[in-house]
Amino acid sequence: MSANLTFATPSGPLSATINRVVAAGYTGRTRHLVEAHVAELKELGIPAPPHVPMLFPIIPGLLSQSSATTVLGEETSPEVEYVIFRVDGLDYVTVGSDQTDSVMEAQNAPIAKNMCLKSIAKDAWLIDEVVDHWDELELSLTCNGKLMQKGKVDQMMTPPDLRDFVAEHDGPVHEGRLIFSGTLEMHGRCPKTKTEMVIRLNDPVLGRSIEHRYTVEPVFPYF
């Protein structure tokens, strides 16, 4: 099953057929950042991973560029991440959210990662346009206007290191593959009701940003 996405880029519209999606986790460049994220998840009842970094397969059909999404129940959490993918031999970057079911993550992380839609922005940049100042790029997430995550991508694996790690486990063919980078420290919890989300990848050097605004609304069983 593939996902067909469309992006606006500085050089014009881009159509991307995504055949494989993987989400990396615990990708901090320094040990203390990884340990902080592990401790944060432990407070939510999510056990430490068997090894770091981790890699989770994601169903491509879960990718969404919609301005609205629904989740089952109130125990889910967003995670802002940079997202890279390759189309026609060229590597692109955008921003996304790895929305995950928190209750199931404590029991089975791969299943939890596939229980929510993965929101993706509608804009993308060639990585070659930002490679010379990559570590200056910034990620942020707000929930109902409250800043929940913010930091530079220098806290995470670089795109080349991330691709190499993924290639070891998912094969060497990057064409048509989309990779979530792993996330930053979360400051608090987003509301458990309908929430307005804003995820952003900011480039302070070139004075531009990629932003995606969308709502997350929980639905509940009728019994």
Q: What proportion of the chain, given as a percentage, has pLDDT over 70?
A: 93
Mean pLDDT (whole number) for 151-177: 96
For the record, the structure tokens of 207 come out as: 């004075």
Q: What pLDDT score does 38 carry?
A: 67
pLDDT in tens, 30-56: 766 666 766 776 776 766 666 778 899
Distance from C-alpha of 161 to C-alpha of 159, rounded to nearest angstrom: 6
More confident residue, 222 or 162: 162
Mean pLDDT (whole number) for 118-145: 98
Q: What pLDDT score does 26 carry?
A: 80
Q: If pLDDT is split at 50, 70 and 90, which confidence band does 105 have?
A: confident
pLDDT in tens, 174-199: 999 999 999 998 888 888 899 999 99
What three-state secondary structure class fits 212? strand
Per-state percent for the chain, helix, strand, coil, to nearest 5: 20, 45, 35
| Domain residue limits, the chain | 3-219
Q: If pLDDT is split at 50, 70 and 90, which confidence band does 29 have?
A: confident
pTM for the model: 0.92
Q: Determine the topology of domain 3-219 in CATH.
A: Fumarylacetoacetate hydrolase; domain 2 (3.90.850)
Q: What pLDDT score does 50 carry?
A: 67
For the record, the structure tokens of 180 come out as: 């979530």
Average pLDDT, the chain: 92
Contacts of 127 (CB under 8 A, 6+ apart): 84, 91, 92, 93, 159
Distance from C-alpha of 221 to C-alpha of 223, rounded to nearest angstrom: 6
pLDDT in tens, 49-99: 667 788 999 999 999 999 999 999 999 999 999 999 999 999 999 999 999
Mean pLDDT (whole number) for 131-148: 97
Q: What pLDDT score does 223 carry?
A: 67
